[in-house]
Chains A and B, each alone.
Chain A
Amino acid sequence: MKSELIRMKSVTQANRAQLFLAQRRIKASVERITSPQGGCGFGIRVNGDTAKICAMLAEINIKCGKDGNTRR
C-alpha cells in the first residue's frame, strides 16, 4: 500500500494527530513539508485508507482536505 502525506496546520497538530492514531494502532510519522501553496509546514505520513484516517481525525477536530492537502 502506498503511503500518503496528509498536510496538517502545524507541527503541534501533526504530533497530536500522530498520538491519536498511535492510540488506535495506526502508525503515522510526522514530516516536514514545503509546498508552493502552503509554504513550510508539517504533515503526517500514513499507510492505509486515507479517507478513513481523515474521518478518524475529524473526531478530534483535525480536518484533512480543505485545510490539509493529501498527497503521495
Chain B
Amino acid sequence: MIYFDNAATTYPKPNQVIGSMTRAMQIYGANPGRAGHKLSMETAKALFLSRQKCADFFHADPENTCFTLNCTHALNYAIKGISHKYCHIITSDIEHNAVIRPVHALTKNSSCTYSLFSVSKNDDETLRNIERLITPRTCAVVCTAASNVTGQLLPYKRIGELCRRRNLCFILDTAQACGLVPITLDDNINIICAAGHKGLYGPMGTGIMITDGKYPLGTLIEGGTGSASSDIEQPSFLPDRFESGTINTPGAIALGAGVEFVVKKGIDKIYEHEMKLCETFRERLEGNRKIILYDDKIGENRVPVVSFNIEGMNSSDGAALLSSNGFYLRGGLHCAFLAHKKLGTIETGTIRFAPAVFNTTAEIYEFTNFLNKLSKK
C-alpha cells in the first residue's frame, strides 16, 4: 500500500505523536482545568505545554491559542464569531466548503452578505480583485492559504497587508499550508485556523484557532470551562471562551508532539522534499497523453498537491482503480466545488496526488510506472 492522500490527513503519523498520544491516555487521564487534584493539574500542565508549542509555531500568545476539533470547527468559530448584523464578508472563488458553507449560512439567518473574489494566476490581479469588492460594510476577508485541489498558494501576506490597511479582519484557512509554509500572525493575519492532523502531523480530531486578540469574537458554543463558574455569561477570555466542555486532551497533547516533529524536521526541508516528489511525479508523466494534469491553470506559488485525471475515466473510478492496485488517493470534488468549477472539473472531479514527509522517490517511481503502463493498455 502506498498512501498519497495526505491532503485529507497525513499518514503515517510520526512515532513521537503516537507515543505522546499513548502516554497521554496512560498518564494524563484526568480532566484538565476542572479539579484541583494532582492528576488534573499534571494533565493541565501537559496540555499547556502543547498549547505553548502550537502558539510559538504561529508566533502567538498561548492564551489566544484555542484547541478545536479540526480546521472546519476553527473556521466556524472565526467566521460566525466575527460576523455581525449587516456584515459583508469577502472570500475567494476556490474555497473549501469549510469556508464557503459557514459564510453562506450566515446570509440565511441575518443580513450578512458575501462576495467572491477571483483568484488569478497573477497575484497583483488577485489583490485588485479583492480591493474592488471592499465596501463600507465589509468586516472581514476570509480565504484559504492554499487550494486543497490545485495546491495554488494565495498571496496571503499581501492580503493581510491590504486588510490591515483597510482595517478589516483577516481570517486565514491554513488547512493545506501549515507545516509547509511558515505562516504566522506576523503576516498581518488576525485569525489563523489550522488543521492539527495534516501538515502538523497530529491526530485526527485536532485543530487550532489562533487569534491576535484584535477582534472580539462571539461564541457558537457555551458551557463549562472550569473558570468563572459563578457567572452565567460565557467567559470573555481565551482560550476558555472557545473551549467549553472537555476537550480532546490526548489529541491536543499529541498535536504538540506533531508540531515539535515539524519544527525539528524544518518546514523548509519538508516543503522541499514534498515539492521534489511532485516534480518527479510530473516529470515521469510527461509525454503520457492519457494523464491530464491541471498545473497550467494555476500560478507558480504552490504547495505539494497535484490534481490529475486518467483520460476516459471520472475521478472516482480512477481513484477506485488505483486503490485496487494499492495506491491510495482521493478522487472527487474534495469538498471544494468552487475550485472544481473554476478548474472546469465540476463534472468529473479530479484525483489528488498529495505526498507527505514519509513518502519516497521510490514510491513515486512505482506509482508513475503503474500509470504509464496503464496508459499503454
Contacts and interface: CB of A to CB of B under 8 A. Distances in A.
Interface of A: 9-13, 15-16, 19, 30-32, 36-42, 61
A41 B227 contact: yes
A13 B63 contact: yes
Interface size, B (range)? 20 to 34
A42 B41 CA distance: 10
Given A9-B240, A42-B33, 17 more contacts: A9-B237, A10-B239, A12-B51, A12-B239, A15-B44, A16-B63, A19-B52, A30-B41, A30-B45, A32-B40, A32-B41, A37-B230, A38-B230, A40-B226, A40-B227, A41-B227, A42-B226
Contacts of A42: 33, 226-227
Nearest to B33: A11
A41 B35 contact: no
A62 B23 CA distance: 31
A31 B45 CA distance: 12
Contact of A30 (B44, B62, B231, B240): B44
B48 A31 contact: no
A18 to B, nearest CB: 8
Contact of B227 (A10, A16, A61): A10
Nearest to B61: A61
Contacts of B61: 61
A11 B63 CA distance: 10
Q: Which DSSP category, helix, strand, loop or mixed, fits chain A's interface?
A: mixed
A10 B237 contact: yes
B48 A16 contact: yes
Contacts of B44: 11, 15, 30
B227 A9 contact: yes
A30 B41 CA distance: 8
Contacts of B230: 36-40
Interface of B: 32-33, 35-36, 40-41, 44-45, 48, 51-52, 61-63, 225-231, 235, 237, 239-240
7 contacts: A11-B33, A11-B227, A15-B44, A32-B40, A38-B229, A40-B227, A42-B226
B29 to A, nearest CB: 17
A13 B243 CA distance: 14
Contacts of A11: 32-33, 44, 48, 226-227
Contacts of B51: 12
A47 to B, nearest CB: 18
Contacts of B231: 39
A10 B239 CA distance: 8
B229 A39 contact: yes
Contact of A41 (B52, B63, B228): B228
Question: Which of A11, A36, A61 gathers the greatest number of chain B CB atoms within 10 Å?
Answer: A11
Contacts of A39: 227-231
Contacts of B41: 30, 32
Given A37-B230, A41-B227, A41-B229, A10 B33 contact: yes
